[in-house]
């Protein structure tokens, strides 16, 4: 195969959606943007439009009202999409697993490829997960 | 001209947390606002019930990731009140230090958002960089950056070592100068002034009518601070000012919070100086059979209220009233008549925190609505 010029690349856009967490994970995801962690050095941009995003970060305990939204966002994303579940809430329900309004872990509703456990996970862990997700986007 | 309804949210660039605002527009102007909440509702009060006090504390602190210590502290205050338990001086002072550190981190976080909202990302990055210093302190003292879980009934999980005392002071010293610079920038920068001055004005009368609390109320001229009205921890022995300003627009709310950060630093410095050399008491499981009590603290966003009723060692009823829940209705009033571009700024300027706010509430202007749980779920599809 002919070698591709790899300077003509699209930056991976990331969309994050809080499906009902406590804000803890949300803050740590945002903290990855700040000077100490700075995910932008990997070309990652956080955007809010699902159409253009490659990676979907889901955080928080999935509540019944948010399920529809989540599915909608997922279906709007273009193919080659990777979903990342951040925090124990998104993975298992965490501290809110017994709540009446909990609709089950995220991977029950949409396929999840990368799991980052922790309550909340450290920004370093999130970046690590993000890099794994980006590799998947590239490989597919 | 036709009315046009524009939904903002629940996943939107303008709001960091899920909430749906239905704005009815006429041209650029907002005519009326309809709020739809519940995207982060979990049913935390229900989760607290049926657990014993030691277990429930961990759930309580997970109600909100920004003010985790405030929730913990309010919970502990309620339980300690129920047990009539006295804690020693050192525990009180350490709790005060952590509480104020949390206020600093919350206010910086918020100020960062505010700057991001008006398109000043440089300052957003700077403010969040300073905030990392505070999070480092939390990590060193409590072992975690976000959920601290350090309080125990009558005691603390960890003590502060002399090294950590110095760390706290060093962090404050290094932050102080820079924060002054940022504050000056906010005050002087033309763009910021343009976007914030006179935006989202709340008069004292409106503030009282809608039950505004915390920094938002203080920016509208209402002297309301639980630390002073109903002192807990060491606040009674410490010198601090409650900052009250009259104007009540977005600019004043921003500046007020920046000034509160400096006030908090003063409180922490005094506390570190006063730390006695006695040890913190050992903790054990709580033995509490029966009782009910209320407790409140001044969280970064205003008064946080807890009611707990314990029967047979288990929590029978829990009620949590969070600051945002108390004042969110005011959005419907102050968004009326503003330009659509100002909406995100006004919403952000109130510093709402939805994750701890979301609970069941059905109130219509002309009638009250009573519903069974099933009906409620059907209607609001939750
Ligand atoms: S995993 Fe923990 S920090 Fe993250 S949203 Fe859930 S409770 Fe909050």
Domain boundaries along the sequence of chain B: 3-39+361-380, 44-357
Look at residue A93 and tell me if it is in a domain: yes
Please identify which residue in the block is written with the tokens 């998947």. Answer: A136
Asked if B332 and B33 count as a contact pair (C-beta separation under 8 A), the reply is yes
C-alpha to C-alpha distance for B311 and A111, rounded to whole angstroms: 43
Look at residue A61 and tell me if it is in a domain: yes
List b or e across A26-42, with b for residues whose CB sees 16 or more CB atoms inside 10 angstroms.
Answer: bbbbbbbbbeebebeee
Look at residue A125 and tell me if it is in a domain: yes
Each residue of B19-67: pLDDT tens digit?
777 778 887 788 877 777 777 777 788 888 888 888 888 888 888 888 8
Give which of A20, A23, A60, A97 to mutate to test B binding, by max B Cβ within 10 Å. A23
Give which of A34, A58, A72, A120 to mutate to test B binding, by max B Cβ within 10 Å. A34
Each residue of B247-302: pLDDT tens digit?
888 888 889 999 999 999 999 999 999 888 888 888 878 888 888 899 989 988 88
Each residue of A121-134: pLDDT tens digit?
999 999 999 888 88
Look at residue A135 and tell me if it is in a domain: yes
Look at residue A17 and tell me if it is in a domain: yes
Look at residue A23 and tell me if it is in a domain: yes
Least confident stretch, A47-51, B64-68, B138-142:
A47-51
Residues whose CB is less than 8 angstroms from the CB of residue B380 and which lie 6 or more positions away in sequence, other chains included:
A65, B38
Please identify which residue in the block is written with the tokens 């997700």. Answer: A133
Kindly list the distances between the CA atom of residue B156 and the CA atoms of A73, B17, B279, B283, in Å, as whole numbers in the listed order: 43, 32, 11, 8
Q: Quote the pLDDT of residue B361.
A: 45
Cβ–Cβ below 8 Å for B381 and A65: yes
Q: Average pLDDT for residues A103-108, to the nearest whole number?
A: 88
Q: Average pLDDT for residues A48-70, to the nearest whole number?
A: 85
Is domain B44-357 classified as CATH 1.10.645.10? yes
Check the CA dihedral B191-A36-A29-A128 and report its sign.
Answer: positive
**B43 contact residues in A (CB cutoff 8 A):** 99-101
**A23 contact residues in B (CB cutoff 8 A):** 17, 64-66, 353, 355-356
Pairing of strands B314-321, B302-311: antiparallel
Each residue of B148-197: pLDDT tens digit?
888 888 888 888 888 999 999 999 999 998 999 999 988 898 888 888 88
- Whether B104 has a pLDDT exceeding 90, the answer reads yes
Task: Identify the burial level of A25 via C-beta atoms within 10 angstroms of its C-beta, where 0-12 means exposed, 13-18 middle and 19 or more buried.
Answer: buried
Q: Could you give the number of structural domains in chain A?
A: 1
pLDDT confidence bin for A102, thresholds 50/70/90: confident
Q: In 3D, which of A125, A127, A119, A115 has the Cα closest to residue A84?
A: A115
- For B145, half-sphere exposure in the C-beta direction (CA atoms, 13 angstrom radius) is 20
Ligand 1 within 6 A of A22 CB?
yes
- Whether A54 has a pLDDT exceeding 90, the answer reads no
For residue A38, the enclosing domain spans 7-139
A46–chain B nearest CA distance, Å: 10
Joined tokens for residue B302: 């205003």
DSSP B183-247: HHHHHH-HHHHHHHTTTT---HHHHHHTT--HHHHHHTT----HHHHS--TTGGGS--PPP--S-
Q: What angle do CA B290, B296, B298 make, to 5 degrees?
A: 155
Mean of the per-residue pLDDT values of chain B:
83
Look at residue A112 and tell me if it is in a domain: yes
C-alpha to C-alpha distance for B307 and B79, rounded to whole angstroms: 9
Interface of A with B (CB under 8 A): 15, 17-28, 30-31, 33-36, 47-50, 60-61, 63-66, 68-69, 73, 94-96, 98-102, 119-120, 122
Joined tokens for residue A92: 């298992």
List b or e across A77-92, with b for residues whose CB sees 16 or more CB atoms inside 10 angstroms.
Answer: beeebbbbbbbbbbbb
Check the CA dihedral B349-B353-B354-B359 and report its sign.
Answer: negative
Ligand 1 within 6 A of A89 CB?
yes
**Is the model more confident about B263 or about A100?**
B263
Q: Quote the pLDDT of residue B367.
A: 47
Residue in chain B lying closest to A70 (CA): B11
Q: Quote the pLDDT of residue B88.
A: 87
Q: Quote the pLDDT of residue B173.
A: 93
Cα(B123) to centroid(ligand 1), Å: 27
Asked if B149 and B98 count as a contact pair (C-beta separation under 8 A), the reply is no
Pairing of strands A13-18, A45-46: parallel
Look at residue A2 and tell me if it is in a domain: no
Taking each helix axis as running N to C, give the angle between helix B89-117 and helix B162-188, from 0 to 180 degrees, rounded to the nearest 10: 30
Residue in chain B lying closest to A62 (CA): B40
Asked if B307 and B78 count as a contact pair (C-beta separation under 8 A), the reply is yes
Q: Quote the pLDDT of residue A112.
A: 93
| CATH number where A107 lies | 3.40.50.12280
Q: By the CB < 8 Å criterion, does B16 face chain A? A: yes
C-alpha to C-alpha distance for A52 and A46, rounded to whole angstroms: 11
Asked if A72 and A56 count as a contact pair (C-beta separation under 8 A), the reply is no
C-alpha to C-alpha distance for B371 and B367, rounded to whole angstroms: 13
Q: What angle do CA B68, B70, B75 make, to 5 degrees?
A: 100
Ligand 1 within 6 A of A92 CB?
no
Ligand 1 atom index nearest CA of A18: 5
C-alpha to C-alpha distance for B202 and B205, rounded to whole angstroms: 8
Q: Running DSSP on this structure, what letter comes out for residue A63?
A: B
Q: Quote the pLDDT of residue B364.
A: 47
């Amino acid at each position: 195969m002919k070698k591709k010029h790899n300077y003509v690349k699209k930056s991976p856009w990331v969309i994050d959606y809080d499906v009902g967490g406590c804000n803890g994970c949300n803050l740590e995801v945002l903290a990855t943007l700040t000077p100490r962690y700075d995910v932008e050095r990997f070309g990652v941009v956080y955007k809010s439009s699902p159409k253009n995003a490659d990676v979907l970060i889901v955080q928080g305990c999935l509540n019944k009202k948010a399920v529809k939204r989540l599915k909608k966002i997922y279906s709007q994303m273009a193919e080659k999409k990777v979903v990342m579940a951040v925090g124990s809430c998104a993975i298992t329900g965490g501290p809110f697993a017994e709540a009446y309004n909990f609709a089950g872990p995220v991977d029950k509703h949409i396929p999840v490829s990368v799991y980052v456990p922790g309550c909340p996970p450290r920004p370093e862990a999130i970046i690590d997960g993000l890099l794994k997700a980006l590799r998947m986007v590239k490989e597919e | 001209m036709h009315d046009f309804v524009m939904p903002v949210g629940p996943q939107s660039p303008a709001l960091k947390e899920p909430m749906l605002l239905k704005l009815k527009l006429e041209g650029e102007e907002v005519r009326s606002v309809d709020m739809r909440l519940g995207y982060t509702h979990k049913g935390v009060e229900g989760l607290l019930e049926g657990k014993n006090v030691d277990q429930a504390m961990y759930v309580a602190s997970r109600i909100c990731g920004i003010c985790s210590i405030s929730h913990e502290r309010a919970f502990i205050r309620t339980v300690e009140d129920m047990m009539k338990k006295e804690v020693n001086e050192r525990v009180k002072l350490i709790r005060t230090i952590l509480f104020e550190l949390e206020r600093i981190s919350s206010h910086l976080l918020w100020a960062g958002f505010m700057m991001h909202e008006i398109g000043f990302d440089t300052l957003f990055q700077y403010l969040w960089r300073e905030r990392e210093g505070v999070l480092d302190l939390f990590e060193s003292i409590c072992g975690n950056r976000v959920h601290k879980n350090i309080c125990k009934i009558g005691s603390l999980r960890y003590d502060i070592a002399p090294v950590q005392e110095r760390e706290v002071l060093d962090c404050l010293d290094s932050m102080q100068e820079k924060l002054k610079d940022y504050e000056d920038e906010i005050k002087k920068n033309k763009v910021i002034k343009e976007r914030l001055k006179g935006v989202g004005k709340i008069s004292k009368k409106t503030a009282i009518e809608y039950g505004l609390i915390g920094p938002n109320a203080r920016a509208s001229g209402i002297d309301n601070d639980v630390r002073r009205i109903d002192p807990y921890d060491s606040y009674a022995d410490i010198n601090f000012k409650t900052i009250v300003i009259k104007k009540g627009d977005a600019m004043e709310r921003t500046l007020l919070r920046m000034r509160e950060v400096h006030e908090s630093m003063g409180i922490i410095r005094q506390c570190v100086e006063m730390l006695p050399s006695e040890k913190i008491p050992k903790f054990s499981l709580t033995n509490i059979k029966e009782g009910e009590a209320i407790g409140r603290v001044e969280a970064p966003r205003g008064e946080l209220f807890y009611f707990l009723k314990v029967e047979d060692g288990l929590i029978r009823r829990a009620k949590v009233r969070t600051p945002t829940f108390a004042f969110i209705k005011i959005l419907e009033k102050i968004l009326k008549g503003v330009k659509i571009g100002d909406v995100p700024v006004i919403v952000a300027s109130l510093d709402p925190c939805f994750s701890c706010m979301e609970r069941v509430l059905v109130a219509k202007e002309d009638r009250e609505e009573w519903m069974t749980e099933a009906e409620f779920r059907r209607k609001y599809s939750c």
